[in-house]
Amino acid sequence: MTTRIVFLDRAIFANSVKLEAPSFSHEWSDYPETKPHQVVERLSGCKIAISSKIPIKAPDMDLLPNLKMIAIAGTGTDHIDIEAATRKGITVANLKGYAWRAVAEHAIALSFSLARNLKSYGNAVAKGHWSDADAFCWHGGGEIRDLLNSCFAVFGRGAIGAEAGRLASLLGMNVIYAERRDAKHVRPNYVAFDEALAMADVISLHCPLIDSTQGMIDESAFAKMNRKPILINCGRGGLVNEMALVKALNEEQISGAGFDVLSKEPPDTDDPNPFLKLADLPNVIITPHVGWASGNAMQAAADMLISNINAFQAGKPENVVVV
């Protein structure tokens, strides 16, 4: 029997990325994007569903008796009801290790861009301010800071966080790794959560979005940032309370914010994210969740996605997500 495979959000990959055909007899359908109310209809009769960010929850699974695998086209799993899938015998597999270097580089790039005020100075040149200057240089774009010997605090020491820390160390920054917010004890080679906030010149977030990390950078956390750090978020938008972030920027509790993620993606146009309204500020850089999207990383993700599907069909599933 031909296996039906449906990709709910194919547009997460650029057109240049090649998705190899699975190695078994199948019927393939894909959609650029899928709204929540379209999930059940599009997955009807489907054995293997592919989703990067489209939620598939327990009520959907109840209406999809043929569904046997959810192949996540990414690492994050918070959009899939893993417990319900496990109860129903649906295998969930995600992608691991395909973009650790790409996302780490993005975090470092945002850090340097904000420290050196590249957005402000680049815009000034475009507006003709340099041409109007009397001297060979123009200093009106704000403070330029070196990151040499600064404290780079990593929150989340998985493959991406560890690589961001390694790169920062190679560039002459003093790297610390923050303990979990709710930890009762501080592990060796970690720094207590509050202490890391107080020490940091750059904070780089690489945590998964789970109950204990939801909104972990809130008004209380910002108040502990003694050194007015640059805040980088290449993890998940929900790690940061965005109203508190706006307040921290307005009150200069932090010197800048570089985000590749928001709490809702894509952001609403009718009810704009309050942080998104600050995107024009010189000390704010928001990129559209593309830290992972180098050509190499996207192709690696696509290859691993198909490999996970082939392994499942062969009865030897790989990268299985467990409760």
The pLDDT tens digits for 149-186 are 999 999 999 999 999 999 999 999 999 999 999 999 99
Indicate the fold that domain 100-286 takes in CATH: Rossmann fold (3.40.50)
List residues bridging with 151 in a β-sheet. 174
Judge whether 50 and 67 are in contact, CB under 8 Å: no
Residue 1 pLDDT > 80, yes or no?
Answer: no
Cα-Cα-Cα-Cα torsion 112, 113, 115, 121, nearest 10 degrees, comes to 140
Q: What is the pLDDT of residue 169?
A: 98
Give per-residue pLDDT as tens, 272-293: 889 999 999 999 999 999 999 9
Residue 323 pLDDT > 80, yes or no?
Answer: no
Nearest CA to 76 out of 259, 289, 276 is that of 289
Residue 55 pLDDT > 80, yes or no?
Answer: yes
Computed over every residue of the chain, the mean pLDDT equals: 95
Q: Measured between alpha carbons, how far is 91 from 82 in angstroms, rounded to an integer?
A: 9
- Residues 6 or more apart in contact with residue 19 via CB below 8 angstroms: 13, 302, 305, 306
- For residue 269, the one-letter residue type is T
Residue 106 pLDDT > 80, yes or no?
Answer: yes
Judge whether 275 and 242 are in contact, CB under 8 Å: yes
Give the sign of the dihedral formed by CA 311, CA 33, CA 323, CA 183.
positive
Q: What is the pLDDT of residue 271?
A: 75
Provide the terminal-to-terminal Cα distance of the chain, rounded to the nearest Å.
Answer: 31
* pLDDT over 90 percentage in the chain: 91
| Tokens encoding 255 | 């010197």
What three-state secondary structure class fits 270?
coil
Task: State how beta strands 151-155 and 91-93 pair.
Answer: unpaired
Span(s) in the chain for CATH 3.40.50.720: 3-98+296-313, 100-286
Active site residues: 236, 265, 289
Residue 297 pLDDT > 90, yes or no?
Answer: yes
User: Domain 3-98+296-313 in CATH: superfamily?
Assistant: NAD(P)-binding Rossmann-like Domain (3.40.50.720)
Q: Measured between alpha carbons, how far is 44 from 40 in angstroms, rounded to an integer?
A: 6
Does an H or E element contain 108, and which? helix 100-115
Go through the chain and tell me how many residues it has.
323
Q: What is the pLDDT of residue 128?
A: 94
Give per-residue pLDDT as tens, 212-271: 999 999 999 999 999 999 999 999 999 999 999 999 999 999 999 999 999 998 898 877
